[in-house]
Amino acid sequence: MKKIIIANWKANLLPKDSLSLAKKYANLKKGAYSVIVCPDFSVISSLSSLLSKSSVTLGAQDCSAFLPGSHTGEVCASSLKYFGVEFVIIGHSERRANGETDTDISKKINNTLDAKMTPVICVGESAEEFRLKKTKTVIKKQLISVLRGLTSKQLAKNIIIAYEPVWAVGTDIFLSPEETIKICKFIKEIATGIGSLKLAVLYGGSVSSANSFHYLNNEAVAGLLVGRASLDYKNFCEILKN
């Protein structure tokens, strides 16, 4: 299976800037990696048409914990699916920092799987937890609480876990590839133990063209979740060259 590179544009761009960046992405030729781009909700519809004939797959940065109904301001998984979204980032540390709980995350995973999309579930420890060497304990707890509620049918579907140490996101500090490989193997072991059958574990957190090769070089790391380095097309292409 090809390794996966997910571009998370977060809320960095105005719609016009997302569209011009997406036009560049649309020129990417099929290569060694599967490329997924996650713009904000405001341009999901436009990017859906723009990328439809390209090698790039559309993803989203979140979805609602609710099913369609009277939930003002929410964007349901089924609406994302309608626009051709195939992957949904869930439980990003920037959302957890704004109060998202494991219960919300479980519901979002459920809705994403039921709408026939692949969840990209983010897990990771804080700087303090890392300092206290609690990484494995924290990740195990996060994985158990968000995967435990899934049915065996849901666990048989493609599930992506993105390991993102919170202290490495948006900081220019990253976890060494050696340590990352150990944690990715640990995640695979735990999630497989819970019953996940088609699991891919990615790394994210200050990935750049200077360090991406070292992560992608190992089979335990199925790909990368890239934030800032995905906002500059040239920079992003450098990662894809690795």
CB of 68 to ligand PGA, least distance (A): 28
Q: Residue 180 in 3-state DSSP?
A: helix
Which residue of 43, 160, 191, 207 would you call a contact of ligand PGA, by CB under 6 A? 207
Q: Does 165 bind ligand PGA (CB under 6 A)?
A: no
Q: Tell how far CA 155 is from the center of its chain.
A: 17
Selected catalytic residue, list 94, 100, 125, 164: 164
Q: Residues 213-232: x/- map of binding to ligand PGA (CB under 6 A)? A: ------------xxxxx---
Q: What is the DSSP letter of 231?
A: S
User: CA separation (Å) from 223 to 47, 53, 202?
Assistant: 23, 23, 5
Q: How far is the CB of 142 from ligand PGA (least distance, A)?
A: 16
DSSP secondary structure letters along 57-119: EEEES---SSPSSS-TT---HHHHHHTT--EEEES-HHHHTTT--HHHHHHHHHHHHHTT-EE
Q: Are 17 and 237 contacting, i.e. CB atoms less than 8 angstroms apart?
A: no
Looking at beta carbons, which residue is closest to ligand PGA? 227
* Region near ligand PGA per CB under 6 A, out of 123-131, 162-170, 209-217, 234-242: 162-170
Quick one: 56 or 169, whose CB is closer to ligand PGA? 169
Distance CA 157, CA 219 (A): 21
User: Of residues 71, 74, 92, 125, which has the active-site annotation?
Assistant: 92
- 169 is a contact residue toward ligand PGA (CB under 6 A): yes
Total site size for ligand PGA, rule CB under 6 A: 13
Q: Report the distance separating Cα 96 and Cα 194, nearest Å.
A: 23
- Torsion angle of the four alpha carbons 241, 177, 210, 124, in this order, in degrees rounded to the nearest 10: 100
Question: Which one of 40-48, 101-109, 126-134, 164-172 is the stretch in contact with ligand PGA (CB under 6 A)?
Answer: 164-172
Is residue 205 near ligand PGA by the rule CB under 6 A? Answer: yes
- 125 included as an active-site residue: no
- Give CA angle at 173 (169, 178), nearest 5°: 100
**Per CB under 6 A, does 204 bind ligand PGA?**
yes
Residue 95 touching ligand PGA (CB under 6 A): no
Stretch that binds ligand PGA, among 23-31, 35-43, 124-132, 204-212 (CB under 6 A): 204-212
| Cβ(60)–Cβ(44) below 8 Å | yes
Residues with catalytic function: 92, 164
Q: Which residues bind ligand PGA (CB under 6 A)?
A: 8, 164, 169-170, 204-207, 225-229
